[in-house]
Amino acid sequence: MAAELVLLSPLDGWAAPLAEVPDPVFAQAMLGDGVAIDPTSAVLHAPCDAVVINVHASRHAVSLRAAGGLELLLHVGLETVALNGEGFAAQVAEGQQVRAGDPLLSFDLEVLARRATSLISPLVITTLGDHAISARVSGRRVSVGDALITLTAVTSDTAAAPLSAAPELTRRITIPLPHGLHARPAAKVAECARRFTAESAITRAGRRASTRSPVALMSLGLQQGDEAMVSASGPDAEAALSALAALIEGGMGEAATLAPPPAEPLPAPSPAVAGLLKGVTAAPGLAIGRAVHLVREEIAVARDGAGVAHEEAALAAALTEIGAQIGDALKRDADPARRSILTAHLALLEDPELATEARRQIGEGRSAGFAWRSAIGGFAEALGALADRRMVERVADLRDLERRVLAVLAGGDTTEPEIPAGAILLADEILPSQLMAIAPERLAGLCMARGGPTSHVAILAAAMGLPAVVAAGPGVATIGDGATLILDADAGTLQTAPDARALEAAQRRLGERAERRIAARAAAGAPARLADGAPLPVLANLGSLAEAQGALEAGAEGSGLLRTEFLFLDRETPPDEDEQAERYQAIADALQGRPLVIRLLDIGGDKPASYLPMAAEDNPALGVRGVRLALRHPALLRTQLRAILRVAPAGRCSLMVPMVSRLSELRAVRAALDEARSDLGVAGRLDLGVMVETPAAAMMADQFAAEADFLSIGTNDLTQYALAMDRGHPELAAEIDGLEPAVLRLIAKTCEGARGHALGVSVCGALAGDLAAIPILIGLGVGRLSMATGAIPEAKALIRTLSPKACQALAAQALDQPSAAAVRALSETFRTGGG
């Protein structure tokens, strides 16, 4: 690497320091250091050789990555994201290699001068990498290609030095969060920081954010694997530093509550073509309904206030009122998805930097509404400019809070309009509070012109069972209220002018689905048997006592997987033996004598616990997790084994070991179990099984079967390890399919190894509840299926129609298919009578 790197001016104009930018996010260097240019030219050029890592959807900003880990954000004008691309044209695409001086964007100066808050355009170094700024130009005119910023190569030790000269304690951390430091974990960090008097911050490559500000933390754009520095100063700095580092590196259990995000990047908005809008699936399903537009009226605010004291009091009262509303909703709402979103909103509402910026503007004579909108707008702009799609999607949460507070300040009605029954809700973007205010039974589905598949509205829609499509483009706004629509969220489409034939086909599909569900639920209580009468038990995967009670109502014949992590996550200390024994006993009693298979604690990887400090791992999925972690914490293992052995009557439960890859691990757990049984004086044998989640376990199934009491295949992990695809990876999650022939061959190998020892095999991963997979699994030799409660009735109904011989023939064909898609097509033909 050269000793110096010179960034060239991307524009003609007047160079100015970032501190003069009339936006706190840039002026306070929340996104990073750099220079601003007041432009006189209308083409933005590359300041150095680089790769384009992001072109913002509104085409007002470009992010680049250069040599030495340098990352740059070039942002044209202020508040230009609101123009939605008007006046801008992109000259490059993501992934493109550019040379210094190449055009990146062109823009209409007249449009920007009329519509933007300011023309001033920041060039921000968001990641310094192996560099430090040694010189910069400001306070004079520059032309495209002039030297603007000089960067000097530095050693890693120099780069890691704290930026503040004030004495403070520091600790380097690596972010383990699969989805980065987004809203929910940022809120948890802020909550932790507020417990201490010490001033603390997180610094990443020269950018510093207060740990008490979730928005500032999100603006750092920290992703899994990124390194950062946590610092603290004050009387309890050491305790604060330890608590913050442990919280972040422990992962906060964040991944355990999030569904894997869709893999495909958001497409550009697509116009209506022949009555069909194409978007992105946010929540699956099919719906027919009437179009109802949810229009978000702009709330007018006065620029100037009626005095500092008056405006500060008004803002404080509005924030208190909205905080109380969210607090009341948290007390009433038991749904985990809704509670998680409400908690994140409350943390954003209490963000000290938002309040500080609003009060600063009030002090300059602005009204409370204008100050709040400006403060929100600055942070929303910062998040919207980041390359991370999830951070961009959090802008909707900020806009939600902006609207709610402004409504209170304006004295208006904060309730949403009445929605007619059977509505397919249409909007440019629906805010979380708007959706939560509508009775779910009145909605058939929803479709948004913008939005993302990992947004909070997408999470809510899935939790409410509503089909939802996002990013369907501007054509959504052209649909007339009351128009009949077909929303096929499975395909990501909205049919805007369906003819009689299309409506009839959709009605038939809906009717068939409804009939299948009704018939399946009616027969769910009967045992699952194949067409020849052979039993094939269908069990439930459980994670709580409430789920056990619901599983019986759905027809579960027991539980093939009790995830014990629900007892260990989101707490400061692990549960003791008595607490565990009591909870296991309650679940066993709720199952009324039916089988219960308890999985040993499976944390580590994507399920960290804050009280078990784990060293940062480059690849947690291949690190200390499952049985590996249990054997490294023998006291934790011993306590759990003793608690399970105390479930009465003795032998009522079975136990299985997660993430086994070597025979020695099974033997070590067997020895610990025997020791615990001896200590407690428990007679008899407790069945001990192996979870087959690694290719190693599948290939060694015959040896495991010789010593285990049963084998249970965890297809979720088995699939990701077989395909070398992280199931939490935003670009790969949708490509991971357990029906890949490679995975099916590992399942076949497991069943073959078990047969040699007359051992039963079950499947407890997501594949067990997949209707396309069930006949293939049966044909491969699987004898029990354990699945999510909602899948049980239809799975049992399908099983009753299946012939073992036909399933075996289907499985043999499936093993020879070239892809998961081909296997699914084969299964579809089989199940619809073509096989």
Whether this prediction's pTM lies above 0.75 is answered by no
Domain residues of the chain, as ranges?
A: 4-159, 169-257, 276-294+416-515, 308-409, 529-834
Whether 90 has a pLDDT exceeding 70, the answer reads yes
Whether 164 has a pLDDT exceeding 70, the answer reads no
| H/E element, 185 | helix 183-193
Q: Counting runs of H as helices and runs of E as strands, what totals does the chain give?
A: 28, 34
CATH top class, domain 169-257:
alpha beta
Edge-to-edge strands of the sheet including 468-470? 276-278, 493-495, 484-488, 286-293, 423-427, 443-448, 468-470, 280-283
Residue 157, pLDDT score: 44
What is the mean predicted confidence (pLDDT) over 581-608?
84
Q: What residues does 74 pair with on adjacent strands? A: 62, 123
Q: How far from chain centre, in Å, is Cα 525?
A: 35
Q: What is the pLDDT of residues 535-547, one digit of tens each?
A: 999 999 888 887 8
**Fold equal for 276-294+416-515 and 529-834:** no
Fold (CATH) for 529-834 = TIM Barrel (3.20.20)
Residue 183, pLDDT score: 57
Give the highest mean pLDDT range of 298-307, 516-525, 587-596: 587-596
Q: What is the pLDDT of residues 342-394, one digit of tens each?
A: 777 777 777 777 788 888 889 888 888 888 888 887 777 666 655 444 555 56
- Residue 438: what are its φ and ψ, rounded to 5°? -100, 135
Q: What is the pLDDT of residues 616-675, one digit of tens each?
A: 555 555 766 778 888 888 888 999 999 999 998 877 799 999 989 999 999 999 999 999
Residue 240, pLDDT score: 86
DSSP letter, residue 604: B
Confidence grade of residue 529 (pLDDT, cut at 50, 70, 90): very high
Output the CATH code of domain 276-294+416-515: 3.50.30.10
| H/E element, 123 | strand 121-127
What is the mean predicted confidence (pLDDT) over 153-176?
60
In terms of pLDDT, which residue wins out, 93 or 745? 745
Residue 657, pLDDT score: 92
Distance from C-alpha of 824 to C-alpha of 737, rounded to nearest angstrom: 10
Distance from C-alpha of 282 to C-alpha of 270, rounded to nearest angstrom: 16
Q: What is the pLDDT of residues 289-342, one digit of tens each?
A: 889 888 766 677 888 888 888 888 888 888 888 888 888 877 776 665 567 667
- Biggest alpha carbon–alpha carbon distance for the chain: 87
Vertex 85 angle, CA 79 and 90, to 5°: 115
Residue 264, pLDDT score: 35
The DSSP-derived string for 363-418 is HTTB-HHHHHHHHHHHHHHHHHTSS-HHHHHTHHHHHHHHHHHHHHHTT---SPPP
- Both tokens of residue 212? 């008490």
CB-side neighbour CA atoms (13 Å) of 719? 22
Residue 65, pLDDT score: 85
Residue 147, pLDDT score: 92
Distance from C-alpha of 384 to C-alpha of 209, rounded to nearest angstrom: 17
CATH top class, domain 308-409:
mainly alpha
Confidence grade of residue 790 (pLDDT, cut at 50, 70, 90): confident
- Among 631, 644, 640, 607, which residue's Cα sits nearest to residue 727? 607
Helix (H, G, I), strand (E, B) or coil at 820: helix
Distance from C-alpha of 84 to C-alpha of 513, rounded to nearest angstrom: 40
Any idea which residue has 């201490």 for tokens?
Answer: 196
What is the mean predicted confidence (pLDDT) over 604-616?
56
Give the CA distances from residue 305 to residues 315, 349, 378, in Å, rounded to whole numbers and listed in that order: 11, 22, 20
Q: What is the pLDDT of residues 220-273, one digit of tens each?
A: 778 777 888 888 888 888 888 888 888 888 877 554 333 333 333 333 333 333
What is the mean predicted confidence (pLDDT) over 740-766?
93
| H/E element, 53 | strand 50-55
- Among 58, 54, 94, which residue's Cα sits nearest to residue 77? 58
Rg (CA), the chain: 29
CB atoms within 10 A of CB 32: 25
Q: Which positions are catalytic?
A: 456, 764
Percent of the chain at pLDDT > 90 equals: 28
DSSP letter, residue 681: T
Confidence grade of residue 730 (pLDDT, cut at 50, 70, 90): very low
Mean pLDDT for the chain overall: 81
Strands 207-210 and 276-278: unpaired
| H/E element, 319 | helix 308-332
CATH superfamily ID and name for 4-159: Glucose Permease (Domain IIA) (2.70.70.10)
The DSSP-derived string for 240-268 is HHHHHHHHHHHGGGGGGGSPPPPSSPPPP
In terms of pLDDT, which residue wins out, 781 or 766? 781
Residue 749, pLDDT score: 96
Percent of the chain at pLDDT > 70 equals: 83
Q: What is the pLDDT of residues 202-224, one digit of tens each?
A: 887 666 778 887 667 776 778 77
Any idea which residue has 């933005």 for tokens?
Answer: 44
Of 380-384, 477-481, 580-584, 764-768, least confident by mean pLDDT is 380-384
Residue 268, pLDDT score: 38
Give the CA distances from residue 113 to residues 39, 247, 385, 676, in Å, rounded to whole numbers and listed in that order: 11, 46, 20, 76
Does the CA dihedral 330-471-420-410 come out positive or negative?
positive
